[in-house]
Structure 1
Amino acid sequence: MVQGGMSVVKYLLFAFNFIFVVTGIALIAVGAWVQAKAAEYVDFLGDRYASAPILLIVVGVIIFILSFMGCCGAIKENYCMVMTFGVLLFIIFVLELAAGIAAYVYKSEVEAVIREKMEQTMKNYNKTDYEIVKKTWDDVQSNLKCCGANNAIEWIHYLGNDNLPYSCCQEKDPKKECKLTDDHYENGCIDALAKFLEAKIVIVGGVGIGIAFVQVIGIIFSCCLARAIKKEYEQV
């Protein structure tokens, strides 16, 4: 049984594993929340945006499970379990850094991706084979209070006769026509959606990087405890 300072490290590692349980739950919650918000606008997003919150969810689940291994290894003073915990925690640390950095890097590309997707999908708004595109546009315009990619006038090229999607008008009644002459949203959806997603990306990146650095302490503790356990076995 480890003694002295290593005994303190043992119980500190056990305590940190409780924190890892909480951080695992936090990662799952944040990843799921951002993914749910982004799912409404999937037609306007690239695959890379969806990967960051999904990666956080996966990492959160792994951390949640891994924390039990750390607890058992610390209490039983099992060298293999403690070392395995430390190595896996280091891998998770790298993955979290990757998710956080990817989120911040992709933040600068969000507007360009949205612009391309929106300009491509406007022409399919009224086509029967693209019902999901219509729904996505209506959700975006209703929720973010915007109209068209850059402005409402763009819809004339696709709908004609000064017609706008019903979601452009503040009444939002699908049974009523929405015209350029009606009270409609003035802001373009590219800027509105870009700002909305950039805020979510900052949250994903901040949580990923913040929790990753907290885990460094757990890695250090696990390495110290494993070394002490190994040394004690060698003495015996």
Structure 2
Amino acid sequence: MPVTRKVRRDHTEVSCCLKYVIFGSNVIFWLIGLLVLAIGFWAWSEKDTFSNLSRLANVALDPAFLLILVGLMTFVIGFTGCVGALRENSCLLAAYAIFLAIILLLEMTAGILGFIFKDWIKAQATGGFQAFIVHYREDPDQQNLIDWIQEDWLQCCGIEGPKDWDKNNYFNCSSREVGSREACGVPFSCCKPKPNEIIKNKQCGYDVRKPGYVSSLRAFLKFAKLVLW
């Protein structure tokens, strides 16, 4: 009786096409995560956070900390997917799948909770923005973020109006007692830019909330340029 030999074919746990698709896409995510993480640490070093650890008290309000957190998460997820696909390591691929499932679950949960508790979230966002206003001059990253929100994104001046800037020590009307030029004013990002304006007027918000300032026509026109809610 003839003996039939069975040819054993080599096979891998991950198909070749899927392997390199996962590897290539995660290399990009891994590099992006590494870049964002490096930018976050660079921002902290520029603000001298590492030598002045007392600044970590307001770490939740620090945009650089958000960059570090997002960069670290992207780096870890990209690393597990990249190495797991390249080495066909089932443990790393399982961890990669779990990370993606957790992110998807968190996004779905955030969407549902955001719809249900939208009023509470709006109140928390308002309080958070007002906390940014309080620390406006203390952190250049927060300052740039607030200016971008007021000038480019929401085109607003504070949350409820220009009076929100009373919460800041520099723009509070009581600051005029120490001769501050910003007292009873608002940041320049509250002012509407003029057409074809090349250089921004950083002093356009000075004194606009000072009592009696709107009495003159020139002052009124300057105050009318403010973007209010």
1:173 aligns with 2:205: no
Moved over 6 A (4+): 32-36, 47-50
8 Å contact 2:188–2:201 — kept in the other structure? yes
1:64 aligns with 2:82: yes
- One-letter amino acid of the structure 1 residue matched with residue 157 of structure 2: C
State the match for 2:152 in structure 1: 143
- Partner residue of 2:94 out of 72, 90, 97: 90
Provide the C-alpha distance between the structure 1 equivalents of 2:68 and 2:15, rounded to a whole number of angstroms: 34
Q: What are the ranges of 5 or more consecutive residues in structure 2 without an aligned counterpart?
A: 1-5, 44-59, 174-182, 194-199, 210-222
- Partner residue of 2:24 out of 4, 22, 25: 22
State the match for 1:185 in structure 2: 227
TM-score using structure 2 length? 0.53
1:41-94 Cα deviation digits (max 9, x unpaired)? x7277x789746642332112212222212xxxxxxxxxxxxxx1232112111
1:144-223 pair list within 5 angstroms: 144=153, 145-156=155-166, 158=168, 159=171, 160=173, 163-171=185-193, 172-177=200-205, 179=208, 181-187=223-229
Q: Which moved more, 1:52-61 or 1:166-175?
A: 52-61
Provide the C-alpha distance between the structure 1 equivalents of 2:124 and 2:99, rounded to a whole number of angstroms: 24
- One-letter amino acid of the structure 1 residue matched with residue 188 of structure 2: Y
- One-letter amino acid of the structure 2 residue matched with residue 58 of structure 1: V
- One-letter amino acid of the structure 1 residue matched with residue 204 of structure 2: K
Q: CA deviation at 1:97?
A: 1.2
SS at match of 1:146: coil
> Of the two, which has the highest radius of gyration?
2
1:139-177 Cα deviation digits (max 9, x unpaired)? 332331232123334225542375221111122521433
Provide the C-alpha distance between the structure 2 equivalents of 1:90 and 1:152, rounded to a whole number of angstroms: 52
Provide the C-alpha distance between the structure 1 equivalents of 2:18 and 2:7, rounded to a whole number of angstroms: 19
1:170-208 Cα deviation digits (max 9, x unpaired)? 225214335362312234xxxxxxxxxxxxxxxxxxxxx
Q: CA deviation at 1:120?
A: 2.2
8 Å contact 2:126–2:159 — kept in the other structure? yes
- Larger helix proportion of the pair: 1
1:5-16 pair list within 5 angstroms: 10=12, 13-16=15-18
Q: RMSD across aligned C-alpha pairs, in angstroms?
A: 4.1
TM-score using structure 1 length? 0.52
- Partner residue of 2:132 out of 111, 118, 121: 121
Percent of paired sites with the same residue: 12
8 Å contact 1:27–1:60 — kept in the other structure? yes
1:102-143 Cα deviation digits (max 9, x unpaired)? 2443453864553332222323335xx455543332233233
* Structure of higher RCO (CA pairs closer than 8 Å, 6+ residues apart): 1
8 Å contact 2:158–2:165 — kept in the other structure? yes
